Amino acid sequence: MNFPDIIKFVIDLIAVLLLALGIKGLSKVRSAREANILAAFAMLLSVVGLLSYYLGTSGIPAESWAWIIVGSLVGSSLGTLLAKKVPMTSMPETVALFNGFGGMSSLLVAIGAFLFPFNELEKGGSLEPFINDVSISVSIFVGAITFSGSIVAMAKLQGWLSTPGWTQVKARHFVNIVFGVTSLVAFIYLISGNISSIWLLVIASSLLGIGVTLPIGGADMPVVISLLNSYSGIAAAAAGFVVDSQLLIVAGAMVGAAGLILTQVMCKGMNRSLVSVLFGGALSAQSTATSGSGEYTNITSCSVEECALTLEAANRVIVVPGYGLAVAQAQHTLREVTKKLEQNGIEVVFAIHPVAGRMPGHMNVLLAEADVPYEQLKEMEVVNPEFPATDVVLVLGANDVVNPQAKNDKSSPLYGMPVLDVQEARTVFVIKRGMSAGYSGIKNDLFDLPNTSMVFGDAKKVLSELIGELKDLGVGEK
Residues designated as active site: 400
Are 183 and 204 in contact, with CB atoms under 8 Å apart? yes
Q: Which of 169, 195, 261, 313 binds another protein (CB under 8 A)?
A: 261
Instruction: Compare residues 30 and 170 and give the one whose CB is closer to another protein.
Output: 30
Compute the radius of gyration of the chain from its Cα atoms: 26
Site mask for another protein (CB under 8 A), range 84-103, x = bound: x-x-x--x--xx--xx-xx-
- We find the least distance from the C-beta atom of residue 301 to another protein, in angstroms, to be 33
User: Which of these ranges, 49-57, 153-161, 277-285, 442-450, lies near another protein under the rule CB under 8 A?
Assistant: 49-57
Helices 91-115 & 197-213 angle (0-180, nearest 10): 170
Establish if 237 lies at the interface with another protein (CB under 8 A). yes
Three-class secondary structure of residue 298 per DSSP: coil
Q: What count of other Cβ atoms lies within 10 Å of the Cβ of residue 80?
A: 10
Closest residue by Cα to residue 39 from 27, 50, 28, 25? 25
Instruction: Compare residues 302 and 368 and give the one whose CB is closer to another protein.
Output: 368
Establish if 244 lies at the interface with another protein (CB under 8 A). yes
Restricted to residues 268-297, the positions that interact with another protein (CB under 8 A) are: 269
Establish if 51 lies at the interface with another protein (CB under 8 A). yes
Site mask for another protein (CB under 8 A), range 192-231, x = bound: ---------------------------------xx--x--
Three-class secondary structure of residue 437 per DSSP: coil
Sheet containing 377-379: give its strands across.
Answer: 377-379, 347-352, 316-321, 392-396, 427-432, 452-456
Are 394 and 317 in contact, with CB atoms under 8 Å apart? yes
Restricted to residues 114-173, the positions that interact with another protein (CB under 8 A) are: 115-116, 118-119, 121-122, 126-128, 131
Establish if 243 lies at the interface with another protein (CB under 8 A). yes
Restricted to residues 370-399, the positions that interact with another protein (CB under 8 A) are: 371, 373-374, 377, 379
Establish if 36 lies at the interface with another protein (CB under 8 A). yes
Restricted to residues 348-367, the positions that interact with another protein (CB under 8 A) are: 352, 354, 359-362, 364-365
- We find the least distance from the C-beta atom of residue 318 to another protein, in angstroms, to be 18
Closest residue by Cα to residue 374 from 30, 8, 18, 1? 30
E strand segments, 293-346: 316-321
List of residues 6+ apart from 179 with CB closer than 8 A: 204, 205, 207, 208, 211
- We find the least distance from the C-beta atom of residue 436 to another protein, in angstroms, to be 26
Establish if 320 lies at the interface with another protein (CB under 8 A). no
